[in-house]
Every structure is written in structure tokens, then in C-alpha cells.
């Protein structure tokens, strides 16, 4: 006969086997969260590859299945299912060029569907973004070599949501010197309109109307001068996406004039 100590030991071994087995449906059920799936907006990447949209989302221990819904942007969007499964990512292809899309991530637990109220925003772009990741102040890049085929975009969706790409740079200017920046708008050409704005050291944005811009250092020490390039929001009057490709270079550093 088993004494109490041996019985407890065998029971412990059995329970450990249930809860630590690699494929253990009983342990999975008993140990999983009791919380309902949480609502989240899927993360949308529209500009890494032409005419493809990459969508991903976080793992949710409360969900048995993910249901990705898509709609063309409209005042009353009509969503349809484009993916159902347990993956955490989806690549959307065969889309209509220059079209805005909305994404929502519904979830299922057991027999209950949880409908998302949050949205991700996508665009079927004919041009990809540049390779530089300088879209925040912390990731600003120094202007030394020419930066070519840079991309800015600005977009409005029907619900008022704005997506945009700003570019951040800085120039190290010696005391008593000035730096000349030269900007060339490539696509569209300047004849179509000049849409690029420059923010110099936190001052209000102004249109980069001339081909070059002068940064002056009138102080007695080296200055790390931050600038930001962005698109004029007036490029979009109601809703849509606008993209501009450009080159920028540090042409020279000379004495103050």
C-alpha cells in the first residue's frame, strides 16, 4: 500500500507532467489567462515595398484566432475579412494603387467573437520609403554626404487621421561660419509645386522656396544645428496621400557674409 508521503510524491510527478509537457492541452486550458482578448490597432507598414502593405499585431493569450478585416477608406467603410488564423502578421497584396485602406483586428475566443473598435491605416504606394530611419529627433542624421532619393509623405483619412513622414537632420557648424544646404525636389518636379517645408532649430516651418538655404552660426562655439523637412499640410485639401522625393546636400561651409 502507498503511504501518504509516497502518494503525494506520485501525485506531484503526475501534475508536473501535465503542466510542463510540450504538448499538453489540459495544462494549456488550466493555465491560460481568464481575460478576454484585448483590443488593439494592427501595426501597418505601407512604404517598405511598392504596392504591398505589411500588417502585424501583438500576441494575445486570450485569443484563439485572429481575424484581420480590411476596407477602403470612406466615411462609412465596408469591412471584409482578408485573413483568419493564428499568425501574427499578414502581407496584403493585389491592391488598388494609390488607394487608402483601413484595417481592424477582430479576435475569437471559443465561440465568441470580439469586434475591434480600433483601426490601422494603410496606403497602396507606388513608391517606397527611403532607406534612412531619420523620422524622429532622436534618429536625426548628420548632413555630410549627399542624401539622395529621400521621401516625405503626408496623408489624411476620412475620419481625420493623419499619417506623415518627416525627416530630421543636423549640421555641425564652426563658430563664425555659415552652412549652405541645397535641396532638389525630384518627384514631383518643382514646376508642379514646392511642397517641402523647413523647420530651422525649432522655428516655425517655412516653405523651402529657393534651391539653397543658409544656416548661420554667429556664436563663438561650434553649433549642432537641427533642421526638419516636412510636407506642407495644404498639399492635401480634403483627404488623400501625397509623396515627394528629393535630394539634399551640404554644399559648403564658409565665413559669415
- Give the integer Cα–Cα distance in Å for 210 and 115: 51
| Burial grade of 107 (CB within 10 A; 0-12, 13-18, 19 or more) | buried
For residue 254, what are the contacts with CB-CB under 8 A and spacing of at least 6? 177, 178, 180
* Residues 101 and 95 sit within 8 Å (Cβ to Cβ): yes
Whole-angstrom distance, CA of residue 46 vs CA of residue 127: 10
Confidence (pLDDT) at 27: 43
Query: Which residues of the chain carry a pLDDT beneath 50?
Result: 18-22, 24-29
Cα 254 to the center of its chain, rounded Å: 38
pLDDT of the residue at 10: 55
E strand residue ranges, the chain = 43-45, 53-56, 65-72, 80-85, 89-92, 100-109, 112-114, 120-123, 141-142, 147-156, 162-165, 167-173, 177-187, 196-200, 206-207, 212-217, 223-231, 240-255
pLDDT of residue 193: 76
C-alpha cell at 55: 500588417
How many other C-beta atoms lie within 10 A of the C-beta of residue 169?
A: 21
pLDDT at residue 136 in the model? 95
Instruction: Report DSSP letters for 144-162, one per residue.
Output: -S-EEEEEEEEEE-TTS-E
Q: Is 24 helix (H, G, I), strand (E, B) or coil?
A: coil
pLDDT in tens, 15-62: 555 444 445 444 444 556 678 999 999 999 999 999 999 999 999 999
CA distance linking residue 54 with residue 256, whole number of Å? 48
d(CA 238, CA 156) in angstroms, rounded, equals 7
Residue pair 99/157 in contact (Cβ under 8 Å)? The answer is no
How much is the mean pLDDT over the chain? 89
* pLDDT for position 21: 46
Q: Which residue is it, cell 486550458?
A: 29
pLDDT tens digits, 124-142:
999 999 999 999 999 999 9
| pLDDT at residue 176, rounded to an integer | 96
Task: Name the pTM for this structure.
Answer: 0.83
Contact call for residues 176 and 255 (beta carbons, < 8 A):
yes
Q: Cell triple for residue 118? A: 480600433
Instruction: Give pLDDT, residue 32.
Output: 61
> What pLDDT is recorded for position 257?
79
Strands 141-142, 167-173: pairing kind: parallel
Amino acid at each position: 500500500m502507498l503511504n501518504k508521503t509516497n502518494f503525494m510524491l506520485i501525485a506531484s510527478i503526475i501534475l508536473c507532467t501535465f503542466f510542463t509537457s510540450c504538448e499538453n492541452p489540459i495544462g494549456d486550458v488550466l493555465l491560460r489567462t481568464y481575460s478576454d482578448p484585448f483590443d488593439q490597432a494592427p501595426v501597418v507598414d505601407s512604404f517598405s515595398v511598392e504596392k504591398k502593405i505589411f500588417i502585424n499585431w501583438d500576441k494575445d493569450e486570450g485569443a484563439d484566432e485572429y481575424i484581420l478585416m480590411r476596407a477602403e477608406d470612406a466615411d462609412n467603410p465596408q469591412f471584409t475579412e482578408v485573413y483568419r488564423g493564428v499568425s501574427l502578421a499578414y502581407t496584403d497584396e493585389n491592391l488598388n494603387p494609390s488607394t487608402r485602406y483601413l484595417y481592424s483586428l477582430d479576435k475569437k475566443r471559443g465561440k465568441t467573437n470580439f469586434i475591434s473598435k480600433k483601426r490601422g491605416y494603410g496606403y497602396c504606394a507606388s513608391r517606397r520609403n527611403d532607406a534612412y530611419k531619420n523620422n524622429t529627433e532622436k534618429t536625426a542624421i548628420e548632413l555630410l554626404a549627399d542624401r539622395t532619393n529621400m521621401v516625405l509623405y503626408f496623408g489624411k483619412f476620412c475620419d481625420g487621421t493623419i499619417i506623415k513622414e518627416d525627416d530630421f537632420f543636423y549640421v555641425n557648424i564652426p563658430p563664425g561660419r555659415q552652412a549652405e544646404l541645397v535641396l532638389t525636389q525630384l518627384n514631383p518636379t518643382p514646376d508642379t509645386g514646392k511642397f517641402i517645408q523647413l523647420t530651422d532649430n525649432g522655428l516655425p516651418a517655412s516653405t523651402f522656396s529657393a534651391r539653397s538655404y543658409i544656416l548661420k552660426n554667429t556664436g563663438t562655439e561650434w553649433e549642432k544645428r537641427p533642421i526638419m523637412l516636412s510636407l506642407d499640410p495644404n498639399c492635401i485639401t480634403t483627404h488623400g496621400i501625397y509623396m515627394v522625393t528629393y535630394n539634399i546636400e551640404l554644399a559648403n561651409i564658409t565665413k559669415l557674409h
